[in-house]
Amino acid sequence: MGDPGPLGRFGEHGGRYVPESLVGACREVEEAFREAWADPAFRGQLAGLLATHVGRPTPLTPALRLSAELGSTLLLKREDLAHTGSHKINNVLGQALLAKRMGKTRLVAETGAGQHGVATATAAALFGLGATVFMGERDIERQALNVFRMRMLGAEVVPVRTGSRTLKDATSEAMRHWVGVVDEAMYCMGSVLGPSPYPWMVREFQRVIGDEARRQCATELRAAVPDYVVACVGGGSNAAGTFAGFVDTPARLIGVEAAGGAGAADGTSGVLHGTRSMFLQDENGQVTEAHSIAAGLDYPGIGPEHVHLRDLGRARYVTVSDAEVIEAVMRLARTEGIVAALESAHAVAWVLRGELPAGSTVLITLSGRGDKDISTLRELV
């Protein structure tokens, strides 16, 4: 999982499919990121913020009771304990710091579950930047708590009423908006999606999850590396960041998608939001709607690097149903005292299927906490 080069390609996927008006802006972001990422001062500043503002390193928690029930050793990488409640803040602080360095005054972002929006609003407040966050009307209803948090932090939340009224349409609107404000605004992408350099840059900002977990596993496990590394996949940023720490080990990498939003399992190759990747499409190439109980996984595609990892046979992508996810949230809550986000519970749900050989060691990235999902769960359990 290295540098995809100036074309931003991961095998046949990735690239930069944007209108002429955004080509220069994407190039500017790429040049700024290349320069910043090679600058120890930038890296040091980001690492400092991740320590003092986010609370990194996040712990690695042995899930003792669940491990005993399953006959395996489960370790939870606790991104739910990061400031703002999910892994999204790792990437956003990186992009916001870059925006500052580039002399930008605003951040433009899309959000599904609202976690990326909250992280963006938080970073904007911290750096004195403006923030405009696009969010589908349906997600605004089911993630009301996060909408309130974003507004409290001073962000403008723009409701998107087109199409599925979820993440796909919010992303389209946000990118359209960026075209008009490129001079002053940086697009702050929430996952390993979008035109080059975003899939690569977001993975690099999220690799802190995998790098920390690798060090932490080395002290927890006799074999130093787990047999399985499991993470949920919406666009795939927490999974990409986690996998980056283990891609050079024998660990089996497993990405868990929502059954109703499975770009890797059910998608075909196409172009959306500036990148070539796998998307749910009808026979005419029209991108179809995803359906997931987890707003953050309600996206009809997957990041291009994941397609490449799958094609290489290095990672495997599986799906779980909404019902399995609800069961997983409850079981984790009652065995470990942790209420996970519905997104993160996808990774737990796959492990709970009990298909892993007895005695396996498993790292699960818990990408976020479940506070935002309480009203959804209250109606279901």
Q: Does 245 bind ligand PLP (CB under 6 A)?
A: no
110 is catalytic: yes
CB-CB contact of 16 with 175 (8 Å):
no
The answer to whether 367 is a known catalytic residue is yes
Q: 327 catalytic, yes or no?
A: no
Q: Which one of the listed residues 104, 324, 367, 372 is annotated catalytic?
A: 367
Q: Which is nearer to ligand PLP, 73 or 309 (CB)?
A: 309
Q: Which of 70, 341, 362, 364 binds ligand PLP (CB under 6 A)?
A: 341
Instruction: With beta carbons less than 8 A apart as the criterion, state whether 83 and 371 touch.
Output: no
Which residues lie closer than 8 Å to 297 by C-beta, 6 or more apart?
112, 232, 233, 234, 257, 258, 261, 290, 342, 343, 346
CA dihedral 14, 16, 18, 20 (to 10 degrees): -170
Q: Which two tokens stand for residue 139?
A: 């997600």
Q: In the complex, what is the shortest distance from the CB of residue 71 to ligand PLP, in angstroms, rounded to a whole number?
A: 27
- Check binding of 256 to ligand PLP (CB under 6 A): no
Active-site pick, 110, 204, 257, 324: 110
Shortest reach from residue 9's CB to ligand PLP, in Å: 20
Q: Which two tokens stand for residue 299?
A: 């996206």
Work out the end-to-end distance of the chain between its first and last CA atoms, rounded to an integer number of angstroms: 40
Nearer to ligand PLP, 73 or 273 (CB): 273
268 forms bridges with which residues in the sheet? 279
> Contact between 121 and ligand PLP (CB under 6 A)?
no
Is the dihedral angle over the CA atoms 106, 111, 116, 122 positive or is it negative?
positive
Q: Is 365 in the site for ligand PLP (CB under 6 A)?
A: no
Q: Is 326 in the site for ligand PLP (CB under 6 A)?
A: no
If one asks whether residue 89 binds ligand PLP (CB under 6 A), the answer comes out as no
Footprint of ligand PLP (CB under 6 A): 86, 112-113, 115-116, 191, 232-238, 296-297, 341, 343-344, 367-368
Give the residue numbers marked as catalytic: 88, 110, 367
